[in-house]
Amino acid sequence: MIKNSLPKKIEVLIVGAGPAGSTLAYELARLGIEVLLLDKANFPRGKTCAGGINVRTLRFLPFDLGPVVERVITGISFTRNLEKHFLRRYHEPLLVTVRREVLDNFLAQKAIQMGACFADGTQFFSLSQEGVNVQVETSAGACCAQFVIGADGAQSIVAMNLELMTATPYMLAIHSEVPTSLFPWVEPDLIHIDWGSLKRSYAYLFPKKDFFAMGAGGFKIPPPQIKNYQRAFGYTKWQKEETPPFSAAGFLLPLRQKRSLIHQGRCLLLGDAAGLIDPFNGAGIHYAIRGAQLAAPLLAEAVKERRDSLQSCQEAINRNLMPEIECSRLLREIFNLCPSFFHRKFATSDRWWVAMAKIMRGEKTFVDIKNKLGPLGSLLLRMAR
């Protein structure tokens, strides 16, 4: 990690050392590109997140995430309207859970080992595109970069500087971290999901080693309703009369719409900053990592060929990631037409449950479901975009 001044000049400067930024730094350094990774926080730092990573994402990574895995999830406990409980298990892992402060530090260290420079505790202030370079101002001084990547999260300062993602809708999530000692009856290989209680919303409980990530998120739902929903879901696990002894915090999840611009000249947005989040469940780690992996070789080409645009990176994301995101948005709307029907089907039909398990593992996607609908699926998807 850089402890002195920043380099005066670098080929690629990345703002934000979450999964998108650190994965991109790792991949670019592996390709021989000079990379400077910035983050305003000193690492390791706390990060609010449910922390679920599916099996497909684990397979995409060129290294083992075993050292940071908290729990291996093999089943789901479902409720609807906080009632009508059923439990489903699968014969293989559905996903793993991680603590984001541990995962993010692990990924940043992998990037450093590959040759990237990392300046944590360094605040990005502004940028200006001047000719063949981008001038960046930070709390540690100025740096001139050939390209700048904004991977600095939902409230991206890079996006604000570029005036991108200005009209983006958000999911609101309310999140708590609950010591495992308070819910001793919850099995460590199960996640708990409540759905159908509020339109376009769900509540979750994800086990870690020392605590549970417990929250509720929703789209176009007033904040008080989401807060009350998360509190009511918590009471179903707390099972006591007195007020639960844990606090809650809110955060926003941007949802990219209509394939809006995520690049401008020599600058590109990735991860949450680009709104690359699943509209159905609010998950973003998969799209952060895959977006970075898709962008890296194209960005390396742009550096070597001294291009003046990163449009090719946006096109790759549109082609490879956005169909999944758009189909997820479509399935979210279909689910909310009659959540009781879907709840009953997943409870009683092995075929439906296996299909869901394969989607959760990443073996199938919502695009596959859309394709099964044939022309109707294509029509509905165009309407959902």
Dump the DSSP string for 53-83: EEHHHHHHSSS--GGGEEEEE-EEEEEETTE
Q: Would you call 235 exposed, middle or buried from its count of C-beta atoms within 10 A (0-12, 13-18, 19+)?
A: middle
pLDDT computed for residue 382 by the predictor:
63
Q: pLDDT digits over 131-141, tens only?
A: 889 999 999 99
CA–CA distance, 109 with 111 (Å, rounded to integer): 5
CA gap 348, 185 in Å, rounded: 25
DSSP-assigned beta bridge partners for residue 148 = 13, 267
pLDDT in the model for residue 183: 86
List phi, psi (to 5°) of 97.
Answer: -110, 150
Q: Which pLDDT score, from 0 to 100, does residue 72 have?
A: 97
Alpha-carbon distance of 41 to 22, in angstroms, equals 14
Q: Are 145 and 136 in contact (CB under 8 A)?
A: yes
Question: Using an 8 Å Cβ cutoff, are 329 and 279 in contact?
Answer: yes
Mean pLDDT throughout 118-132? 92
CA distances from 171 to 97, 143, 149, 191, 255 (A): 21, 34, 23, 21, 7
Question: In sequence order, which residues have a C-beta less than 8 Å from that of residue 123 and are 6 or more positions away?
Answer: 40, 138, 139
The more confident residue out of 185 and 381 is: 185
- From the list 191, 197, 181, the residue with the least C-alpha distance to 214 is 191
Instruction: Say which residue, 148 or 250, is predicted with more confidence.
Output: 148
The closest of 25, 39, 26 to 120, measured between CA atoms, is 39
- Report whether pLDDT(248) > 90: no
Are the C-beta atoms of residues 143 and 6 closer than 8 Å to each other? yes
Residue type present at position 256: R
Can you tell me the distance from the alpha carbon of 336 to that of 201, in angstroms, rounded to the nearest whole number?
Answer: 9
Looking only at Cα atoms, what is the longest distance across the chain? 66
Q: What is the model's pLDDT at position 233?
A: 92
Mean pLDDT over residues 64-89, rounded? 95
Domain regions of the chain by residue span: 9-48+100-168+255-324
| Cβ(147)–Cβ(12) below 8 Å | yes
Give per-residue pLDDT as tens, 164-182.
999 899 999 999 999 998 8
In this structure, the number of other CB atoms found within 10 A of the CB of residue 153 comes to 26
pLDDT (tens digit, 9 = 90+) per residue, 335-384?
A: 988 999 999 999 999 999 999 999 999 888 888 877 776 665 565 556 55
pLDDT grade for 4, boundaries at 50, 70 and 90: low
Q: Across-strand partners of 76? A: 88, 191
In angstroms, the Cα distances linking 52 to 57, 70, 172, 254 are: 10, 10, 18, 18
Residue 29 has pLDDT above 80, yes or no: yes
Rounded Cα–Cα distance for residues 210 and 235 (Å): 20
Separation in Å, CA 107 to CA 152, 241, 341: 15, 42, 41
Homologous superfamily, domain 9-48+100-168+255-324: FAD/NAD(P)-binding domain (3.50.50.60)
Question: So what's the pLDDT on residue 372?
Answer: 75
pLDDT of residue 344: 94
pLDDT band, very low/low/confident/very high, at 5 (cuts 50, 70, 90): confident
Look at residues 24, 211, 182, 254 and name the one whose alpha carbon lies nearest to residue 99: 211
